[in-house]
Amino acid sequence: MEIEVEGKMVQLSEAGWLEDLSEWTPAIAEKIAKDVEMIDELTKEHWEIIDLTREAFSENNQVSEPRKFLKLMKNKFGRQCGTNKYIFKYFPRGGLIKSANKVAGLPRPKGCS
């Protein structure tokens, strides 16, 4: 699967995961969100989740497990943001594992279809 972003063709897997993680840009995130995850617009709250997933990946060289990520969200943004319900509000097609990580340009977690 290919998407065009800013005049450049970007390769995605059949499920919409970025093939070359080094190509990720905010513009690619916007395109994946809209075309693959059916999210019309990335809000400040979406970007807080995306940025934290990327930060955690950068520090640990692996995608965060949901429980650990929710703890990071709670510590950084408050108790109301540290729940699965909050994540699914912004990424309803798959929450952290299948949707937020995909938009953030991270690798597909093991066991994730």
Kindly report the CATH number assigned to the domain that includes residue 97.
1.10.10
pLDDT band per the 50, 70, 90 thresholds, residue 110: confident
Q: Is residue 113 part of a domain?
A: no
Q: Are 11 and 19 in contact (CB under 8 A)?
A: yes
Q: Which of 37-41, 71-75, 92-96 has the lowest mean pLDDT?
A: 92-96
Per-residue pLDDT, averaged over 66-74, amounts to 94
Give the residue numbers spanning the domain of 53. 44-103
CA 73 to chain centre: 14
Tell whether the model's pLDDT for residue 52 goes beyond 60: yes
Q: Are 53 and 94 in contact (CB under 8 A)?
A: no
pLDDT for 111: 64
pLDDT for 18: 94
Q: Are 52 and 46 in contact (CB under 8 A)?
A: no
Q: Are residues 26 and 52 in the same domain?
A: no
pTM of the model: 0.91
Q: Are residues 49 and 99 in the same domain?
A: yes
What is the Rg, in whole angstroms, of the alpha carbon atoms belonging to the chain?
13
Q: Are 88 and 75 in contact (CB under 8 A)?
A: no
Q: Are 95 and 84 in contact (CB under 8 A)?
A: yes
For the chain, the domain total comes to 2
Q: What is the pLDDT of residues 10-50, one digit of tens each?
A: 999 998 999 999 999 999 999 999 998 999 999 999 999 99
